[in-house]
Amino acid sequence: MALLDIRNLSVAFTTRAGTFRAVDGIDLSVEEGEVLGIVGESGSGKSVTSLALMGLLPPGSRVTADRLNFAGTDLLSLSPAQRRRVVGKDIAMVFQEPMSSLNPCFTVGFQLGETLKVHEGLSGRALRRRCIELLEQVGIPDPESRLSAFPHQLSGGMSQRVMIAIAVACNPRLLIADEPTTALDVTIQRQILDLLVGLQRDRGMGLILITHDMGVVAETAQRAVVMYAGQVAETRPVEALFTRPRHPYTGALLDALPERALGKRRLPTIPGVVPGIMDRPEGCVFNPRCRFAAARCRSERPALFEVDEGLARCFYPLPDVPLPDGILPGGLHTRGMGQASGEGLGEGAAR
């Protein structure tokens, strides 16, 4: 049984202008001890999915799912109080902005100890010892004196380490890291990522790593989900996804990696932006930006089709041809159905 098993998860926001779906029928599963990468541009619904899982969405949002099982328990059937016993203990989350994610009015020790107090009933000396131990585990030097530090006295990297310590305090079975390194210096990013992966390995917990950095996914995850406009575009093992992308969006994302564009004058980009939740296009949500879009793509919504080792939401997936590194997947072939086969992504961006 999978640790996390989500079927057909949708999140709708009701505003004065109407109801909009930010997440649209997502399936997701994480095995015990697995690292799952979720990639996608801003606005693709990555964060909303994880917040829905944690039950942290603001009022006015409606979460529906055929199944939202964690370790065999249906999270949607739990009362808020019951759910709070799971959230923060068995499922924990690390956020994008470490500096603003810690409460400025309380010390590190207080904020870390609070979780242990609420979920494990620790207090007094045992609590203090456990806090120091946790700060040590996340690589904070001089943990004893850090306990009485206020968040504004910590750097971004240190804050994120504290956030991670809080998240893993109760030995969660699943940790969700929502762009944990985006707000940090490049040099610190590496360290935080190593820390997360190290903790994951040592504790054997499941890890969902949400990022828009394909490189991070390639290095850390076993399986990856590519999200686009609130839907899963492609989900496959990392190895397969990176060498033989089947969804044109995945292919285009990979093309946009600088290391794959060596020797080119311009870095390929994907023209346009992710459609907002109010103006999702007809048919395939990616069709306005897809260089292979055909008439069917503009009128009919593709389902997730089985491709080798996974799923891709595309009527005309890219061919299953392994690509040598550094070659555009789109440049290897031309398609009869494509808009204009000569018009590459790079040229699209140059316009």
Closer residue to other proteins in complex, CB, 12/99: 99
Cβ proximity of 148 and 142 under 8 Å = no
Closer residue to other proteins in complex, CB, 10/159: 159
Give the contact letters, 64-83, x = binds to other proteins (CB under 8 A), - = no: ----------------xx-x
Instruction: Return the percent helix, strand and coil in the chain, to nearest 5.
Output: 35, 20, 40
Q: Is 97 in the site for other proteins (CB under 8 A)?
A: yes
The DSSP element (H or E) to which 177 belongs, if any, is strand 174-178
**Residues from 119 through 178 that contact other proteins (CB under 8 A):** 119, 150, 152-153, 163, 166
Least Å distance, CB 93 to other proteins, is 5
The DSSP element (H or E) to which 25 belongs, if any, is strand 18-30
Q: Is 21 in the site for other proteins (CB under 8 A)?
A: no
Options 62, 85, 129, 264; binder of other proteins; rule CB under 8 A: 85
**Residues from 29 through 58 that contact other proteins (CB under 8 A):** 54, 56
Q: Distance (Å, rounded) from C-alpha 26 to C-alpha 9? A: 5
Cβ proximity of 108 and 154 under 8 Å = yes
Q: Distance (Å, rounded) from C-alpha 324 to C-alpha 340? A: 24
* Residue of 39, 13, 38, 43 lying closest to 276 (CA atoms): 43
Size of the site for other proteins (CB under 8 A): 31
Least Å distance, CB 17 to other proteins, is 16
Options 15, 103, 171, 334; binder of other proteins; rule CB under 8 A: 103
Q: Distance (Å, rounded) from C-alpha 286 to C-alpha 263? A: 28
Least Å distance, CB 236 to other proteins, is 29
Binding span for other proteins by CB under 8 A among 21-29, 113-121, 276-284, 310-318: 113-121
Options 10, 115, 181, 220; binder of other proteins; rule CB under 8 A: 115
Least Å distance, CB 51 to other proteins, is 8
Q: Distance (Å, rounded) from C-alpha 1 to C-alpha 67? A: 13
Which tokens go with 227?
Answer: 């999200």
Place of tokens 């946009």: 256
Q: Is 278 in the site for other proteins (CB under 8 A)?
A: no
Strand partners, 177: 94, 209
Q: Distance (Å, rounded) from C-alpha 272 to C-alpha 280? A: 13
Give me the residues that bind other proteins (CB under 8 A), please.
Answer: 54, 56, 80-81, 83-89, 92-93, 95, 97, 100-106, 114-115, 118-119, 150, 152-153, 163, 166
